[in-house]
Amino acid sequence: MESERTMHIGEVADRTGLSHRTLRHYDEVGLVVPSGRTGGGFRLYTETDLQRLLLVRRMKPLGYTLEQMRELLDTVRDLQEDDDPEARARVAALEADVAARRLQLVRQVEMADEFAALLRGL
């Protein structure tokens, strides 16, 4: 982390769209732990931490649990450290799951559009 630029929680909140409270919660549960702390105990995030948070932010609205998010972050770390075939297989399975969740969302939007049209017709 010594050569990597660090950011305080406010900058990370601005860049990710996550609240300070959410960032502190993710730290407390060990989902995304900041790479460092100042002498006064303030969290210091790196660009790598920020990218991990952006992955989490994209998973949350799709209904993934904290444990599933943690598993993906571990898989990403495994791929960055070593191109592990098992990690690649986990990513492929998750990609298929994301496609299924997306399709479900599309169906829900279509139903909402139909419902709105029915209401307009009343």
Domain limits, the chain: 9-120
pLDDT at 21: 98
10-residue mean pLDDT profile of the chain (122 residues): values are 84 98 97 96 96 96 95 92 90 96 96 98 95
CATH of 9-120, one of 3.30.70.100, 3.40.50.20, 1.10.1660.10, 1.10.3720.10: 1.10.1660.10
pTM value is 0.86
Q: Rounded CA gap, 70 and 64, in Å?
A: 10
The per-residue pLDDT for 108 is: 97
Q: What is the pLDDT of residue 84?
A: 87
- Residue 4's pLDDT is 86
Positive or negative: CA dihedral 81, 87, 92, 93: negative
Phi, psi of 66, deg, nearest 5: -60, -40
pLDDT of residue 2: 55
